[in-house]
Each structure stands twice: as structure tokens, then as C-alpha cells.
Amino acid sequence: MIYKYKDSYLSYVLLFNFYFFALGLFSSIMSIYLSGMEKSPAEISFIVSSVGIFSIVIQPIVGYFTDKTHSPKLISTITLILAGISGVAFMFFQSNILLFILNGLTLSFVNSVSPINEKLATNSRFRYGNIRIWGAIGFALASQIAAITYEFISTTFNFILFFIAIILSIIGYYGTTEVEVQKNTTSKSVSFKEVSFELGKNKPYILFLFITLLFTGMTTVNNTYLPLLILNNGSQVSFVGTVMFLATLVEVPLILSSHLILDRLSSKNLLIISFLIIFVQFGIYGIFSSVSVIMVSAFLFKALATMLFIMITLKVVIGIVNPKYVNSALGFAATLKAIGGLVFQVLSGSIVDMFSVQTLYQVFVVFAVIGLVLIFIMRMPENRKQSLFSGQINKE
């Protein structure tokens, strides 16, 4: 039975479905949960921004120890157990400081293993899309279940479900194929100084980090304020969950066709597409006041842009970074994602308090244009043939 489970499709289903299910339970309606505790927009932004601060430390450390120990699954297991503990503790407190700390710890732990998960998927014998689709399904279901649980069962029961989902995702890890890339490309452990020096002189990588900061900063804030935008216009919490559920399902066609699209288009073109998507999305939020228009835009663009950029990150980093430092490079990229969330949460809270949510999205349109300019001036080598999303052994 155990031998059949090892390297089985079921193990990847458990890992990705329940990893993203846990993430969705904890984060999809966090702004609504905090609003229900009578937290102001500024307080919500303060609490949510903690992810950036904690991730500056946690995510590079996770990436470094993954490279040093050559044991991605062990590091991920330890990290997710810590996330489960801090996530459950979150439900017992109302103090802004304690919520700030626990939210930062929980999501930093969860997000720090995301690069490892993406590499496990691309390193498997199964096609990437056939694995990653379960992440989209898990997050979509969690968005709906979290909203229903919050409105009809208990405002805090989602945190218990979060811990259960974390345990199930860990069970999935132990059936997956270990990432062997680092073992084959380095004969000795790398030092943090060596990693920092090599990545620091990689100009395309540094520019990509700034692009990552812009994109993920805006999309992280969008995850915070979009549910409140819909809720404040008269919708019920469960209906907000339905919108998020349907929006996440839009990822499915992209994931299933990832081997046809992402392996064929250049990294630069994919980055341009992702920024054009958020340009249109935030432009609609900034111009139109109709809830119906906002919800249609969320359905078409919200999850699509985020999912596309997650997959692009893996493709870009593997294309421009020495394989010896890929895990660390992905860890630093995840850190910039967190920093972007921190910076943009603080900025957004001030803008919303002084003006409005629509003004915030108008500002984001300008940032999207800046991101497009950075992409156009970025030089990336396109001479490496990659089949990251087609499966390592057979295309199942």
C-alpha cells in the first residue's frame, strides 16, 4: 500500500488540494473576519501587512535550508506544522498586535513553501497542469466554504479546518518525488554569502524582483479590499465567497493548458500579458461603481492574473539563475512578494482612509504601467529550451 502511494497521483492531489485549501480558508475572507471584529480599514491593513515583515526573515531562511539540506519535503513539513499551530492560535485573540504577529507567522510559513511545491510539480512524472489544477480547486472550494462557515456556523471554525487541511497536505508530501536538481548540481553545501553574492550580481534577476514587488504588492492588496468592496455594496458574505469560488475556477483552463502556453511563449511576453490583465482589471474597479461589473471583472481576471504570475516566476527564475541557487532565488522572490504586500498594504490603507477604494485602484493602474515599462527594458536570455510544465517522464 505504501509503495503504491509513493510517487502516486493521489499524493500530489493531497498536497496541492489541501495546501491551497488551507491557504484559502485562512486568507480568502480575512478582511471580512477582521471587519466583523470592528477593525477599521487602517487596522486591517496593519494586521494583513505583517506578512511582509515576517516573510523578509522566514522565506529566505526556508529557501536557504532547502538548498543546504537537500530535503525540500522535510523543510516544508516543519514549516507547515508551525503554520498550523500559529493559524489555530489566531482565533483566540483580538489584540491588533497579537493578530499582527500570528497572521504574519502563519502566512509567511505557508507562502515560504510555495516555491518548493511548484518545483515538486514540475519535477514529477505527471504533467504540471494535471497536478496544479488541484490547487485551484482547493482554493476555490475553500473560498466558498470559508464564507459559508463564517456566516452560518462559526466565525472562528475556519481556523480549525485550516489546521486539518495542513495535516492532509503534509501527508501528500511523503508520496511525492523528491526534487533532485540540487543534489545533482552541487557537491557541497552553499553558503548564504555565496548565494547572496551570486544573485546580487544577476541584473535580470534583480530587475525581476522589482517587477515581482509591484505585481504581488497590488494583487495582495486586491485580495484584501475586493471582498470588502463587494460586501460594502450590499452583498452577503456567502455571495462574496461564491464570487471568489468562481473567480478561482477561471484558473483551471490556464493550468490545464500550461504545457501548451507557458512552455511556448517567452518569459517576457508572459510577464507583459500578466500586467495587461491587472491593468484592465484595476482600471475597471477604478472607473465603474456597478457591483455587477466589478464581479464580472473579478470573475474573469482576479485569479487568472495571480495564477499566471506564480507559474511565470518559476519559469523566469529557472531561466536566468544558476540551477545551484534556484531554491534560494525563489525564496528571495517570495520575500519580495511579501515586501510588496507590506509596502502596498500600508500605502493602500492611507489612500482608502483619505480618499476611496476606487482611487486606490486608479493608483494601481499607474503602477501597472510602470511595471510594463520595467518589463520592456528587462533583458532575459531566451536560449534555454524549457519544458517545465509538460511532465518529466510521461505526459499523463
Tell me, what's the pLDDT at 192?
A: 66
Closest residue by Cα to residue 330 from 310, 345, 307, 308: 310
Closest residue by Cα to residue 219 from 247, 200, 239: 247
Tell me, what's the pLDDT at 215?
A: 92
Q: How far is CA 282 from the centre of its chain?
A: 19
Helix axes 9-27, 96-112, angle to 10 degrees: 160
Report the percentage of the chain scoring pLDDT > 90.
23
- pLDDT digits over 11-64, tens only? 888 999 999 999 989 988 888 888 888 888 788 888 888 887 887 788 778 877
- Overall fold of domain 8-177+192-377: Growth Hormone; Chain: A; (1.20.1250)
- pLDDT digits over 210-220, tens only? 998 899 889 88
Tell me, what's the pLDDT at 181?
A: 43
- pLDDT digits over 164-194, tens only? 999 999 998 887 766 554 444 443 556 667 7
Q: How far is CA 333 from CA 174, 212, 213, 252, 313, in A?
A: 26, 7, 8, 24, 8
**Mean pLDDT, to the nearest integer, of 293-298?**
85
Quote the DSSP letter at residue 96: H
Quick check: 63 and 115 in contact, CB under 8 A?
yes
**Mean pLDDT, to the nearest integer, of 342-353?**
83
CA distance 14 to 196: 34
Tell me, what's the pLDDT at 340?
A: 80
Domain limits, the chain? 8-177+192-377
Tell me, what's the pLDDT at 90?
A: 93
- Name, of 198-207, 277-286, 302-311, the range with top average pLDDT: 277-286
**Mean pLDDT, to the nearest integer, of 341-365?**
86
Tell me, what's the pLDDT at 183?
A: 45
CA distance 288 to 284: 6
pLDDT at 248 over 70: yes
Grid coordinates belonging to 173: 508530501
Tell me, what's the pLDDT at 383?
A: 46
CA distance 215 to 378: 15
Tell me, what's the pLDDT at 303?
A: 76
pLDDT at 263 over 80: no
**Mean pLDDT, to the nearest integer, of 342-366?**
86
- pLDDT digits over 92-123, tens only? 999 999 999 999 999 989 988 887 887 777 77
Q: How far is CA 95 from CA 106, 125, 263, 317, in A?
A: 16, 47, 47, 39
Grid coordinates belonging to 320: 536566468
Q: If you search the block for the grid coordinates 479546518, which residue do you land on? A: 161
Tell me, what's the pLDDT at 95?
A: 93
Tell me, what's the pLDDT at 394?
A: 43
Tell me, what's the pLDDT at 282?
A: 93
CA distance 63 to 332: 8
Tell me, what's the pLDDT at 390?
A: 57
The band of 281, judged by pLDDT with boundaries at 50, 70 and 90, is: very high
**Mean pLDDT, to the nearest integer, of 222-248?**
77
The band of 89, judged by pLDDT with boundaries at 50, 70 and 90, is: very high
Provide the mean pLDDT of the chain. 81
More confident residue, 74 or 79: 79
Quick check: 344 and 217 in contact, CB under 8 A?
yes
pLDDT at 244 over 80: no
The band of 329, judged by pLDDT with boundaries at 50, 70 and 90, is: confident
